[in-house]
Chain A
């Protein structure tokens, strides 16, 4: 089946995202990696190390699916669209955020070490969220 290339093809936009993610990962301890994808599941950028065995494309698709399910779950519970959701694992938290500008919808996934608690994780991720939103607005 034809699998098409990344559709959000503004390189400057992607470069800006990449910078934002990189500095966020550097600045906060306990953050393993960040990944950004379009809401329909195409990987945009990430801070996953090159040696890692994580498949970026599958992860991007899963993150988008998860965000989609969160939205569906929220709407079935009579809540407005979801802004984010948390997955708890024995090896740390995964936090997913849905970000919308009037042109783009993206999903941001953050993976945290076991030692990082909910408060710290959300706080670190929210910092990235505002950076990313600023970029989305500016590039509109």
Chain B
């Protein structure tokens, strides 16, 4: 086993992956943003085409690497490239988008390996209390036992809880697996 120090941010276009990495990263995160030509899909100026990259420097000479995937579906072939070797993933969900429920399930299935080890955390934003309950029920119905949070990716302290859950998860994973 190699020491894993990569946390992945996944989710559809406009869910806030780039935003989350910019928020958490010590330095300005590197990104591959280009002009968004599909404003019908999501009305914002730019979209990620290859990956986002940021890092959190730890006390010692170690860093935690934060990688974001490009969320649009036609970039699916890029996802496994970016995802390789990730500890776990934070799946961002923007519940103000149409089809957010299906999109959520789509990403969990696409990152099946992480979902199986419970290493995906669902962090929803722009979500009402009712939608939050609906999402919890949906995950449950589909047989996924994943932590679910409401997280505004523009705020550091909300993302910290998400990371803490991933940490707890991995600590347990390491300590239980023999």
Task: List residues of A whose CB falls within 8 A of some B CB.
Answer: 1-4, 7-8, 38-42, 57-58, 60-62, 64-69, 71-72, 75-76, 104-105
Q: Are B73 and A3 neighbours in the complex by a CB distance under 8 Å?
A: yes
From known contacts A7-B40, A38-B37, A67-B49, infer whether A58 and B32 are also in contact, taking CB-CB under 8 Å.
no
Also in contact, A105 and B34, with CB within 8 A (given A58-B77, A62-B77): yes
**Contact among B38, B39, B76, B78 with A42 in the assembled complex (CB-CB below 8 Å):** B38
Q: What residues on B are CB-neighbors of A60 within 8 Å?
A: 74
Query: Which residues of chain B have C-beta atoms less than 8 A from A67's C-beta?
Result: 34, 49
Contact partner, B31, options A2, A66, A72, Cβ 8 Å:
A72
Besides A2-B98, A3-B73, A7-B41, 20 new A-B residue pairs in contact (Cβ under 8 A), listed by A number: A1-B73, A1-B99, A2-B41, A2-B103, A8-B37, A40-B72, A41-B75, A42-B74, A60-B74, A61-B77, A62-B77, A64-B34, A64-B49, A65-B32, A65-B49, A67-B34, A68-B50, A69-B50, A71-B34, A75-B30
Q: With A and B bound together, what is the CA distance between A40 and B73 in angstroms?
A: 11
Chain B residues in 8 Å Cβ range of A71:
32, 34
Q: B35 at interface (Cβ–Cβ under 8 A)? A: yes
Answer whether residue B61 sits at the interface, using C-beta atoms and an 8 A cutoff. no
User: Contact: B37 with A66, CB < 8 Å?
Assistant: no
B47 located at the interface, meaning its Cβ lies under 8 Å from any Cβ of chain A in the complex: yes
- What is the CB-to-nearest-CB distance from A87 to chain B, in angstroms, rounded to a whole number? 14
| Contact residue among A4, A57, A66, A75 (Cβ-Cβ distance under 8 Å from B40) | A4
Q: How many residues of B contact A (CB 8 A)?
A: 31
Q: A41 to B74, Cβ gap below 8 A?
A: yes
Q: Are B38 and A40 in contact (CB under 8 A)?
A: yes
B12 at the interface (CB under 8 A from A): yes
Bound: A64/B77 CA distance, A? 12
A58-B77, A61-B74, A69-B50 are contacts. A40–B32 as well, Cβ < 8 Å?
Answer: no
Q: Is B36 an interface residue (CB 8 A)?
A: yes
Smallest beta-carbon distance A84→chain B, Å: 15
Judging by beta carbons under 8 Å apart, are B30 and A76 in contact?
A: yes
Taking the complex as formed, is B142 at the interface, i.e. its CB lies under 8 A from any CB of chain A? no
